[in-house]
Amino acid sequence: MLSVRDFLRRQCALPALLLLGLAAGSNCQAGTILGHSDQCGVTQESCGEGDCCEDPCCDLDSCSGLGCGETGLMSGLLSLNPFQGTTPCFDDFISPMSNPVFFEDPRTVSELRPMFVHHNIPAGAGGGHANVIALQIRAAITERLSLIATKDGFIMSTNDVVDDGWADVSLGLKYGLIQDVENQRLLSAGLTFELPVGTPRALQGNGDGEFNLFLTGGLEFLEHWHFLSATGFRLPTDTSAENQVWYWSGHIDRKFGERFYGLVEMNWYHYMSNGNAGIPGIGGGDFFNLGSPGIAGDDMATVAFGTKFKPSANTELGVAYEIPMTSREDLMRNRTTVDFILRF
């Protein structure tokens, strides 16, 4: 006769098979600590010695599979994912909002992230505003390695300097160096390359491309608090057309209840080189790289305040408002970012 434990084990195996295309099996490793499984209404559990835990959300292989509870449309979408699914082991974290092209989530995720960014541009750079509609894509190849597409989209502007047009496209890889599930700590490294395929009148398509080398990490501390931090170097292949930039971003959030988060973020940009193009004395910040002269050694810093709502463990909806902290504003008097994340 089929026991309750065997029945639950088989029910949990089905969605993991659909997502990963693995043969049936259920060897939860002893001592493995599982991430929060909000979709099942349970908290962290530990597998017992030599057998799987009885929790129906017990993961199949060290948290690499999909927990029970996903049904209907979401289950169907997950079954179509040709890549490694997002691990549920760190689903109590949220993704950062500001510096959206370079502040990379340290987790290995498969997701679609449409976003809308509204810039109000300082009068010294022509005034007006610029809106960006973009879609970021991340696809986990393994539990540690993922493909990331962090920049694309279309720019709509009323500014005299920035015109309407397509943005450049950035593609790359990210690798998880540390994935400490028990202590909820993460560290990843990555490399992207920005293809100069955008519209020149939108201040895109200049130079011969730009490398971005970065580290990003995160940890959970106290109760319901999370810290994320990333740093990297933007290294254009043509330093006369684009500036070299060193950046750092930090994020702190607190979870309220089961679905809401409040967050604060800071971003710092240090211009390491001058270019021979762009607007003299005005840098591009994060989304643009103007290759401006007269800015080597200068710094720009911003602060952002926002909130996120998680309708489920696989989705996030966020909004953040960002302003400069320094007298240098470059192309951002203030900025509002709205994003939606669907993970697979």
The reported pLDDT for the residue numbered 12 is 38
Measured distance CA(283)–CA(340) in Å, rounded? 29
Average pLDDT for consecutive 10-residue bins of the chain (344 residues)?
A: 41 34 33 39 40 38 40 46 75 96 97 98 95 98 96 97 97 97 97 98 96 98 96 98 98 97 98 94 95 97 98 95 97 97 96
Contact 107, 187 (CB under 8 A): no
Measured distance CA(9)–CA(79) in Å, rounded? 19
Q: Is 64 helix (H, G, I), strand (E, B) or coil?
A: coil
Measured distance CA(306)–CA(226) in Å, rounded? 14
The reported pLDDT for the residue numbered 317 is 98
Helix 4-20 vs helix 72-79: crossing angle, to nearest 10:
50
Domains defined for the chain, CATH in brackets: 1-80 (no CATH), 90-343 (2.40.160.40)
Q: What are residue 180's DSSP bridge partners?
A: 185
The reported pLDDT for the residue numbered 122 is 95
Amino acid at 272: M
The reported pLDDT for the residue numbered 99 is 98
| pTM of the predicted structure, to 2 decimals | 0.79
